[in-house]
Amino acid sequence: MIITPFLVIFMIVVFVLLFLFLNTVDKRKWLSGLISLILTPFVYFYMFYPFVNIVSNYHHQKYFDSEAWIEKPALRYEMIDSTIKTDTLIGVSKENIASLLGKYEWLTWNDSLKAHDDNKWNYGLGIEPGAFNDQRECVEISFKNDKVSQLRHYQEEITYEKKDNEAE
């Protein structure tokens, strides 16, 4: 385990909260301190840390990998930040994008043409983990002269379609 400043600060916070709680049960400070010291690692790793992971939306960042992109579409959100920052796909041709990322999942609707725009491909990136996340991650790849000119990372609300036989 790597000891970081956040780990130390959070452990101290858990210790103080345990000490204050146990002090309400028994007024002997030495006993409350000893029990708090023993219980702190358990409370931290079995209560506090899991709760923080559920509530926060932290996720690992990975470099772009074409094979992982195609095989694990639900985890694409881990690669997109690095891909946009490093301009990995800027200037790549449509044919190469189709081989690297697979066929586009949908095209952007162009209101002026009243049709789908063949120069704006969209891919779903999956859903970032988090307890209160109701958005799915997406990326729009724009082409100019059959080369990638821009990547736009955006979120859209998750919707669930009702089946025809379900009652409203």
Is the model more confident about 162 or about 167? 162
Q: Which residue has the tokens 């789908």?
A: 116
Name 150's bridge partners.
142
pLDDT band, residue 167 (cuts 50/70/90): low
pLDDT band, residue 37 (cuts 50/70/90): very high
Instruction: Confirm if 147 and 92 have CB atoms less than 8 A apart.
Output: yes
pLDDT band, residue 53 (cuts 50/70/90): confident
> What is the C-alpha radius of gyration for the chain, rounded to an integer number of angstroms?
24
pTM of the model: 0.68
Amino acid 119 reads N
Domain spans of the chain, in order of start: 5-55, 66-157
Average the pLDDT over each of 69-73, 111-115, 129-133, 162-166 and give the range with the smallest value: 162-166
| Pairing relationship of beta strands 115-126 and 135-144 according to DSSP bridges | antiparallel
Residue-wise pLDDT for 64-113, tens only, equals 899 999 999 988 999 998 899 999 899 999 999 999 999 999 999 988 88
Question: Average pLDDT, whole number, for the chain?
Answer: 89
Q: Indicate the fold that domain 66-157 takes in CATH.
A: Beta-lactamase Inhibitory Protein; Chain:B, domain 1 (3.30.1450)
Question: What gap in Å lies between CA 139 and CA 129, rounded to an integer?
Answer: 17
> Region 38-57: what's the mean pLDDT?
87
Instruction: Confirm if 142 and 149 have CB atoms less than 8 A apart.
Output: yes
